[in-house]
Amino acid sequence: MLGRCTALPRLASQRSQSTSSSPGGRMVAAAASGDSDAAFAAFKRQQEELALRRDRQFIYSGLLLAGIALFFSVRLSQRARIHEDERHATRLRMYAQIEESDQRRERLLGALPELAQTAARLKPEAAARVAAEVRHVATK
């Protein structure tokens, strides 16, 4: 095990002592002191810290994606609700127009005798036209 760490004391002399606070600095400082077990432990800690950092990044990215998915889901459900409200309003307008049309038709049918008397006094072409229009309204 000591044979692997022969280059580490040279690296330790090249670096300043201020790096001993970082995981890599602790590893170099331990290797410079000749303690290969401490260097290996520092290396192991560094790898564990990196793995933990990767795991956190993975969790945070998953949470971010879940948040984005939730945002779009809520937005789509709001749009669906808005479109449903618009369809309901359109349906109500159509029913109101149908009701109005039926009322107009009833008024015309109620005024049919008066229209027939007026048509009798008109020229024959105009009387035929009024009668055709009245028939058209009555058959709707």
pTM of the model: 0.42
What is d(CA 21, CA 26) in angstroms, rounded to the nearest whole number?
A: 6
Which residues contact residue 8 at a Cβ distance below 8 angstroms, ignoring those fewer than 6 apart? Answer: 28, 31, 32, 39
Query: Could you tell me which residue, 78 or 36, shows the higher pLDDT?
Result: 78
Task: Give the chain's end-to-end CA distance (angstroms, integer).
Answer: 102
In tens, the pLDDT along 46-100 reads 999 999 999 999 999 999 999 999 999 999 999 999 999 999 999 999 999 999 9
Crossing angle between the packed helical segments 112-121 and 36-110, to the nearest 10 degrees: 60
Domain ranges of the chain: 3-139
Distances (CA, A) of 12 to 17, 45, 67, 75: 8, 18, 46, 57
Q: What is the 3-state secondary structure (H, E, C) of 81-132?
A: HHHHHHHHHHHHHHHHHHHHHHHHHHHHHHCHHHHHHHHHHCCHHHHHHHHH
* Average pLDDT across the chain, whole number: 80
Give me the percent of the chain exceeding a pLDDT of 70: 74
Cβ 72 vs Cβ 52: under 8 Å: no
Tell whether the model's pLDDT for residue 43 goes beyond 80.
yes
pLDDT of residue 21: 54
